[in-house]
Chains A and B, each alone.
Chain A
Amino acid sequence: MKSAIILFPGTNREKDMADAIERASGRRPDIVWHRETDLAGYDLIVAPGGFSYGDYLRCGAMAGNSPIMRAVKQQAERGVAVLGVCNGFQILTETGLLPGALLRNAGLKFICKYAHLKAERCAAPFTQRLAPGQVTEVAVAHNEGNYFADAETLDRLEGEGRVVFRYCDAAGTVSDATNLNGSQRNIAGIVNARGNVLGMMPHPEDATDAALGKTEGLPLFESVAEALAPA
């Protein structure tokens, strides 16, 4: 699996993402600077977390309009797998690759803690190694993770089985009490209609190394490595 991680000014999670992908696939991703314009030949493209362009204007707005994103869009339209985590999710919504937007957390606080996620969509290329309803605990670290879309869009996402993760408790119960940032319908991650573009606020890459305490993020990367391995 050949993968690329896009680096914007202000990105800061590219190394953890590279480590996670390498752990699962055995191959180190290329780090690609945002001024590049060609992403041909990659099986997976990742927009990692951080604070691209200092979150100026809106989180992800500047990065969403940078030269490399035209290439990301082209590859996504060809069916290449695209993963956006945290700021990467914000960037993917700003480019229009995913519907909705990420607003300021309802509690107005930067949230940095472990959160339980319930897997709802368990399908290639991102989550076939998770069981429907499976609860994993991974870190969240964001100030603007409050997922918003209008009711019609939310109904469509749910109707098409495009909600991948929701915030829940350890038992998998999804409720207002487990909705840490005010996201509509507890949504933590969604895919596009074709299923090849995933955006999520939590950081699965932070939970892939036993030495750091948790490995519950590993199945996502193993799913990708399995789905995109050369035939």
Chain B
Amino acid sequence: MKAKVFVTLKPGVLDPQGKAIEHALGGLGFEGVDEVRQGKVIEIDLAEADRAAAEAQVDAMCRKLLANTVIENYAIEIDG
């Protein structure tokens, strides 16, 4: 199983990097960009073959290490 974890800053948490990208896009002439938020993607190869078990395992990883839930939200995508 392959898992992808998407970690993003919670709404309301200042994202200065997203703001800088937003301004840069405007500077390049891209119009209509209202807001940019930057996050990260973590790809994990798992030995687990059961989809539900894999998702539960990755969820535990997110809570323990991959995301800081004080400031970040996470979403999990399982492929395979």
Q: How far is the CA of A108 from the CA of B20 in the complex (A)?
A: 9
Q: A101 within 8 Å of B by Cβ? A: yes
Contact B14 A103 (CB under 8 A): yes
Q: A70 within 8 Å of B by Cβ? A: no
Q: Which of these, B13, B16, B65, B71, contacts A105 with CB under 8 Å?
A: B16
Q: Which residue of A lies closest to B71 (CB)?
A: A101
Contact A101 B64 (CB under 8 A): no
Chain B residues with Cβ below 8 Å from A177 are: none
Q: How far is the CB of B74 from chain A (nearest CB, A)?
A: 12
Contact B65 A65 (CB under 8 A): yes
Q: How far is the CB of B62 from chain A (nearest CB, A)?
A: 12
Chain B residues with Cβ below 8 Å from A148 are: 13-14, 70-71
Q: How far is the CA of A58 from the CA of B9 in the complex (A)?
A: 12
Contact A61 B65 (CB under 8 A): yes
Contact B16 A106 (CB under 8 A): yes
Contact B65 A104 (CB under 8 A): no
The number of chain B residues with a CB under 8 A from chain A is 11
The number of chain A residues with a CB under 8 A from chain B is 19
Query: What DSSP secondary structure best describes chain B's contact surface?
Result: helix
Chain B residues with Cβ below 8 Å from A65 are: 64-65
Contact B70 A100 (CB under 8 A): yes
B42-80 vs A, CB cutoff 8 Å, 1 = contact: the mask equals: 000000000000000000000011101011000000000
Chain B residues with Cβ below 8 Å from A149 are: 70
Contact B14 A57 (CB under 8 A): no
Q: Which of these, B13, B17, B68, contacts A94 with CB under 8 Å?
A: B68
Q: Which residue of B lies closest to A105 (CB)?
A: B16
Q: A182 within 8 Å of B by Cβ? A: yes
Chain A residues with Cβ below 8 Å from B66 are: 57
Q: Which residue of B lies closest to A96 (CB)?
A: B70
Chain A residues with Cβ below 8 Å from B68 are: 58, 61, 94, 101
Residues of A participating in the B interface, judged by any CB pair closer than 8 Å: 57-58, 61, 65, 93-94, 99-101, 103-108, 146, 148-149, 182
22 contacts between A and B (CB under 8 A): A57-B65, A57-B66, A61-B65, A65-B64, A93-B70, A100-B70, A101-B71, A103-B13, A103-B14, A103-B16, A103-B71, A104-B16, A104-B17, A105-B16, A107-B16, A108-B20, A148-B13, A148-B14, A148-B70, A148-B71, A182-B14, A182-B16
Residues of B participating in the A interface, judged by any CB pair closer than 8 Å: 13-14, 16-17, 20, 64-66, 68, 70-71
Closest 10 CB pairs of A and B: A101-B70, A101-B71, A108-B16, A104-B16, A106-B16, A101-B68, A58-B68, A108-B20, A148-B71, A65-B65
